[in-house]
Amino acid sequence: MARLDGKVAIITGSAQGMGAAHAELFVKEGAKVVITDLNEEKGQALAEKLGENALFVKQNVTSEEDWKNVIEETEKTFGPVDVLVNNAGITMSKSIEETTLDDYNKIVQINQVSVFLGMRAVMPSMRKAGSGSIVNISSMNGLVGGAIGYTDTKFAVRGMTKAAAMEFSPQGVRVNSVHPGVIETPMIMQEDVKEQVEAFAKTIPMKRIAKVEEVSNLVLFLASDDSSYSTGSEFVIDGGLTAQ
């Protein structure tokens, strides 16, 4: 039996990249998946590719109204939500002195506030479903230092995950965070940075960067009933980088 048979999932920021890989695997494993993103063209194309068990809904993850709409569209099309993957996020690599307040507020809104809004919005639907799993995508920089703004918000996701896990557990909803290291996406394998990435890979204990599907398999585990006794935990997938 497929691992997500009968489950309804929302994956934010899933028109492309890692989110799209998660969506494809979820559908393959029997889930009905709502793909949300601001990129309407790519999101709609992915939903059409995945077929009748996928739906695209345009969403700004920092908007309360958009969250309300996503939940309503999901329930109307597929039923109550069983799984939420808070995947949407942006990176920023400026120094503290170069970072404007607008820069900082933007990354906080997208990486941090959106996770709060998503968890809050989905709970009534998960209550209807009788249980649920929320997977918050953080980063290895939610465990160790990195760029200002990005590191702060990814640490915040880790903390919010624990707070929500404590609150939601009695209602049958689990909340966990995923902390990827360097992942082989088209963006980081471009010719102008490929050489740097390959050099960095030699410093990783496992001597390679992760494949996208390796992260998707971990997200699938947390979304499924296979992880039924895991909540409030960090799941690190970084090839040993933070173990050094």
How far apart (Å, rounded) are the C-alpha atoms in residues 221 and 198? 29
103-130: b (≥16 Cβ within 10 Å) or e: ebeebbbbbbbbbebbbebbbebbbebe
Do 56 and 9 form a contact (C-beta atoms < 8 A)? no
- Of 150, 155, 168, 221, catalytic: 150
229 among known catalytic residues: no
Do 161 and 136 form a contact (C-beta atoms < 8 A)? yes
CA angle (50, 54, 55) in 5-degree steps: 130
Residues serving a catalytic function are: 150
